[in-house]
Amino acid sequence: MTFATLQARDPVGTWRWDNEDLQKQGVVQNVLVLTRDRGILTGVCSGTAGEIPVSAVSFEGDKLTWSIDVEMRGRPVTTVFSGKLVGGELLGQVIVGTLGEYSWRAGREQEWRFHVKIPDGDEAYVISPMFHFSKLKGGVVGHVNNDGDVFPIKNIVFRDGGTFSFDVDVPVISLKSKFRGQIQGDTAKGIVEYDYGGDTGETDFTAERVP
């Protein structure tokens, strides 16, 4: 596989997708966060209009539908999303009131907890940041969250056979790092090559997928 997917038949989680603005204002990046409270699905959608509560959420079999109400050109517009859950993706259509419709393809955000050995003289300590990945039209995107500090993941490549590589730079501390590893089910391991203000080297990492 080129990107590890979640197989559970459950839409709960964070979904990301992008699309062309119907008003030709460029590409819109969207995030849908679905939760379940006492068996009822609910959520929030974020995009150019900010955070908007979703309504009429339904999940039957493998089909998810939901809607949001926004104001466009001074008028209220109901946008209806419908999609089929296929592994780690939602594939379907979006109907924007009477303005038009377009294909919808959202990728489930996957969370991985990485454990990276940091050399410190003759010893080492371990940091365990969260890595977030999503599959969009243009490929896989991601970011790292380490105790509230967020950094983009660049040059992400997932290959057949489960090998992967990507870069993470932290300019504020002059750190550049390249991760290379192998996914094995819900775990991964590999090597990090780093340049820390001119001090270069490599160290090990392990990771596990967060359910």
Mean pLDDT over 92-112 rounds to 88
Per-residue model confidence (pLDDT) at position 4:
41
For the stretch 119-144, pLDDT in tens is 777 777 898 999 999 877 667 889 99
Bridge partners of 180, per DSSP, are 165, 191
Whether 115 shows a pLDDT value over 70: the answer reads yes
Q: Cα(188)–Cα(186) distance, rounded to whole angstroms?
A: 7
H or E element at residue 17: strand 13-20
Whether 42 shows a pLDDT value over 80: the answer reads yes
Tell me which of 139 and 207 has the higher pLDDT: 207
Mean pLDDT over 54-79 rounds to 91
Whether 61 shows a pLDDT value over 60: the answer reads yes
The encoded tokens of residue 208 equal 């596990």
Going by C-alpha positions, the residue among 32, 71, 38, 74 that lies closest to residue 55 is 32
Give the chain's radius of gyration (CA, Å): 20
Q: For residue 162, report the phi and psi dihedrals to the nearest 5 degrees.
A: 90, 5
Neighbours of 21 (CB within 10 A): 11
Class of domain 110-209: mainly beta
Bridge partners of 177, per DSSP, are 168, 194
For the stretch 134-187, pLDDT in tens is 877 667 889 998 888 899 999 999 988 889 999 999 998 899 999 999 998 889
Of the CA atoms within 13 Å of residue 185, those in its CB half-sphere come to: 1
Give the start-to-end residue ranges of the domains of the chain. 13-108, 110-209
Q: Does domain 13-108 have CATH number 1.10.357?
A: no
Which strands make up the sheet holding 13-20, listed edge to edge? 50-53, 40-47, 27-37, 13-20, 100-108, 89-96, 75-86, 63-72, 55-60
13-108 shares its CATH topology with 110-209: yes
Q: Cα(85)–Cα(188) distance, rounded to whole angstroms?
A: 25
